[in-house]
Each structure stands twice: as C-alpha cells, then as structure tokens.
Structure 1
Amino acid sequence: MSATTLTPTAAAQPRLRLGLWLETLAAWTLALAWAAPLLYALWAAIHPTGYATRFELFAPLTLDNFTAAWNAAPFPRYMLNSVLLVTFVTGCQFVLGTLAAFVFARSSSRWAGVLFAIVLVQLMIMPDMLIVENYRTMRALGLVDTVVGIGLPYVASAFGIFLLRQTFKQVPKELEDAARIEGCGTFGILWKVYVPLARPTYLAYGLTSVSYHWNNFLWPLVITNTVETRPLTVGLAVFASTDQGIDWAIISAATLLTSAPLLLAFLLFQRQFVQSFMRAGIR
C-alpha cells in the first residue's frame, strides 16, 4: 500500500517541476515586458541627449535632464494640481463608498440588493462614454477649468463600493452585536468595528484610485484650459508637444518625475495591496 501511494506522487513530480518552471518563466517574461519601457526611460534620463537612442556601456551619466525638465515647464504647479485632485477624489470615494457599502452589506431589504445591482451597472459603462454629458454638467455648474470639475464625476465609485461591501460582509455579526451592547450606535459601529477591519482594503483601493486619477488624461485634457488647473498628465503632454524638436532625454526625465510618486507608493505597500484583493472574496 505504501508503494501504491508513493508511485503516483513520484511520477507527478517531474510534471510539477515543469509547471513551476513554466510559471516562473512566464512571470519573468511579463515582468521584463512591463519593466522595459521604464528601464529605457531611466537610461535616457540619466544620460546626455545623444545617448537616448544608442546604448554604450560606459556612457557618461548626468542628472541635468531632470533639472532641465523641472525648469522647462511648471511641474510644481502640475504636481500640486494632481495631489489636490487625487486627495479630493479619493477622500470623497472613501466616505461615500463606506456609507453605501455598509448599507449594502448589512441591510436585509430586497431593495438593497436591487440598488446594489444598479450600482454595479456603472462598472459596465466606460467613463469616456460620459465625457460629453459630464462636460455639459460641469459647464452648467461653472466648474470648467477647475480641479473640482476634474474630480466631481468620480467622487462615487461602484468598484470601491463593491470592494468594501465584500469586506464588510466578512465581518462577523457578533462583533456588531457586542458593539451595540457596549452602547455604540450605527455610526459608532461603522467607525470602531468595520472601518478598522477594512484597512487593508482601504489601502488597496486607495492605491488603485490614486493611480487611476493620477494617470487619467482624456477627461482632464477636455475640462482644463490653463496651467493653473492642469494635472501632471496633461502638463506632460503639453510640454512634450510644444518643445522645440523631441529631446527624448528631457521627456524621459519628465516622465519619471510624473510616475515616481506612484512607483514609490506601490513599492512601499505592495504586500498589503495584493493581500487585500485576495481577501475580498465574493460572498
């Protein structure tokens, strides 16, 4: 019986090793494909202009491209606008998403399920399809060419509501009952029980939301007209299109300045980011 048990396992080991090797190879291939543009931008940014399109092992290094990019366009203003935008949008999404997710997670009414299904319909609509109507709305409200006008159409997120609802549904009902016995009201239970247990989800969704709105280009391009309100993505595109000729070294440096905050944030919180999505199972 021992031989019968061990034989299939021994026979399966080569296939398991082959599968693991193929998975590792695929992961490295995808990682290199993702990193190739970033590595090229880094190479072009830290070398003089003439070396942006040719690779030499002992090419001279320089940081002048970053200084030139920073001084060639009002990047401090662009960065401030992007920070204000993602702070405004993410903050509103956290508040509205938390309240809606709590209701959808704990309500026993059949109408809650219907309303939640209607909210999920938003996931099927591409934001770019609503650009014309959103622009008309922002113009009627007098919010064209403002940071608030860029972020207002995104303050409620169906994806954020869905993710938080799935997390809240995993919170044991006994914790809520214990909090009520201790004298907590509805908002007290939400703030002291549900929100702390959902911190990994808030972190993961916050990174997702910040990344999307930090990199969003089309809608900010449509709604903004001046330097005072343009975010980094639009400012970078204007900078690249109005520059005399195409200096790939300076453009690469400007691109790295734009993407550096997001890369740093992901590297710092990548473990929490991955774990929170793994825990948000559908129930």
Structure 2
Amino acid sequence: MSTTTKPWALALIYALLIAGSILMLLPFLWMISTSLKHSSEVIVLPPKWIPSRLQWQNYVTAWQAAPFGRYMINSVVVTFLCTVGELVTTILASFAFAKLRFYGRDALFAILLATMMVPQEMLLIPNYITLTELGWLDRYEALIIPWIASVFAIFLLRQYFLGIPQQLYYACRIDGCRDWGFLWRIMVPLSKPALVTIALLKAIGSWNAFLWPLIMTNSEEMRTMPVGLTAFFSETDLNYELLMAASMMIVAPMLLLYAALQRSIVEGISRGGLKG
C-alpha cells in the first residue's frame, strides 16, 4: 500500500475489510450459537444470538446419535491418504512439466488444463459406473484413488517449479546428481510453501467432501463425517441444534489447521503465480 494514501481512504479500506470479515464470520457464529441452544430457542422469532443457558450436552447427544467415532476414523484415513497421494502425483507431474524436455510436453499440459473446464457433476455417473465395475463400491479405494491427482495442484506447483532457477538444475547435473535426486533434494525443499498450500487445500476438500462419499458408500462402516450429518434429518423433524453441534465438530479441525497454516497458503499461491 502506498505511503501517500490519504487517511480517509485508509479508514474506508479498513472499514470495508472489517465489514467483510464480520460477514464471513456471521455463519460460523450463528452455527456456534445454535449448537448451544435448547430446541425451544432454535426457531424463535426474533432470533436469539445468545442462548439463555448453554447446552453443552448437545455435543454429547450429537456424537452419540450416530457412530461418529467410526465416521471420524474413515474421514481421517481418507483425508490422509488422499493428501499424501495427491502430493506424490503432483510433485512428479509438476517436475516433468516444468523441468524435463520431451515431445508434446506443452500440448499435453494444455490438454490437462482443459480438463478443468469439465464440470465435476458430468463425471459422477461415468465414475460411479467405472468404480462399480471394478468392485470398489463401499470401499476405501472408491473414496481415495479417484482423488489422488489434481490438475489445479499440478498447475500451481509447476508454476512454482518454474520460478526455481534453471542454473540449479544444470549445476546438479554437472555434480552428477540425476533428475530424481535433484527433485527430492533441491526442488521439494525449496517448494515447501506451495506443498503446504496444496496439502492443506486437499485436506480441507477431502475432509468436507459430501456428495461423492454419499454416492459411493452404502454401509455405516464406510461413511465419513459429513455424510453422518444425514442422521439428523428425518421426514418429520430436523434437530437444528444437534445438526449444528455435529457440524461444529466437523468444521473445527479444519478451521484450526487453516488458521495455523494460512501464511503458507498465501505465500504458496502468490509465489506460484509469479512465472508462467
């Protein structure tokens, strides 16, 4: 920001930023408030932001309403393996597109980017049929393997790799270091901000995934935390306070993780776009 910016302009900018922050926080504050209310206070008009009495028992009741212990184990396993798998495939593909020379590299990368224009909803039925034919319905393979690669992650890390001087590559080759060694000893350590960004975005996406696990799982033993929220829906009733309590248990870990690593996300995305 320019040092010549007028005070009134600075005040306006900060006011807009604060207003935007409040608007972003309101849904989370309402979710926390509702999760601590008695059922009689949830739908009163006008709405009450502060419960008359904090109902911490809502969290215990929500946890016991469904096998959330099993759901959490499934979510942790799926999130961890999807994140690790995407990091491996992204590192290898990005290095090939950024540093290696082979016929059709740029055309292949352009085709890869073009797949980002295909809506994911169009792929649900073909992917479901394919995985059903493989016998992966209601198994970890269906929840993990289709999501261990991301075109966006490859694009982001490739841009980051392009910002690393090519002279380092030539120097390592002169010293006898092969491509594999250069990748893991030089490129990966220098790209930690981008890798943290990719890992965190993937972890959040996998943890919060709802539609795909809902389609690919039939049994209680294979469902994940977001799918478990359907336990609070029925044809005649909806327990808002329990639903919000369960939602808080799902959202809280990712909020804490994001808050701890947000600086790495900003650095990774900003530096990844410096060179095309």
Shared topology, TM-score over 0.5? yes
Q: Does residue 183 of structure 1 match 2:180?
A: no
Q: Cα distance, 1:61 vs. partner?
A: 1.9
Partner of residue 251, structure 2? 259
Q: Cα distance, 1:167 vs. partner?
A: 0.7
Identify which of 149, 158, 164 aligns with 1:165.
158
- Alpha-carbon distance in 1 for matches of 2:7, 2:231: 50
* CA displacement, residues 14-63 of structure 1 (integer Å, 9 cap, x when unaligned): xx434333332322222222211110111122233333344275722231
Paired amino acid for 1:255? S
Q: Cα distance, 1:156 vs. partner?
A: 1.6
Change (3 A) 1:115 1:264: same
Partner of residue 248, structure 1? 240
Change (3 A) 1:60 1:159: same
Partner of residue 214, structure 2? 221
Q: How does 1:135-150 map to 2 (within 5 A)?
A: 135-150=128-143
SS in 2 for 1:93: helix
SS in 2 for 1:61: coil
TM-score, with structure 1 as normaliser: 0.89
Identify which of 263, 266, 270 aligns with 1:274.
266
- RMSD over aligned Cα, in angstroms? 2.1
Identify which of 5, 14, 22 aligns with 1:32.
22
Q: Cα distance, 1:264 vs. partner?
A: 0.8
- Alpha-carbon distance in 2 for matches of 1:64, 1:136: 43
Gaps of 5+ in 2: none
Q: Cα distance, 1:257 vs. partner?
A: 0.4
Runs (4+) of structure 1 moved beyond 6 Å? none
* CA displacement, residues 225-266 of structure 1 (integer Å, 9 cap, x when unaligned): 111111111111x21214972222211110000111110100
Q: Cα distance, 1:187 vs. partner?
A: 0.8
SS in 2 for 1:228: helix
Worse-matched range after superposition: 174-183 or 268-277: 174-183
SS in 1 for 2:219: coil
* CA displacement, residues 132-168 of structure 1 (integer Å, 9 cap, x when unaligned): 0000110111001112202222222101110110111
- Alpha-carbon distance in 2 for matches of 1:128, 1:51: 38
State the identity %: 33
Q: Cα distance, 1:210 vs. partner?
A: 1.4
- Alpha-carbon distance in 1 for matches of 2:105, 2:115: 16
SS in 2 for 1:225: coil
Tell me the matched-pair count. 271
Q: Cα distance, 1:90 vs. partner?
A: 1.5
Partner of residue 235, structure 1? 228
- Alpha-carbon distance in 1 for matches of 2:119, 2:205: 13
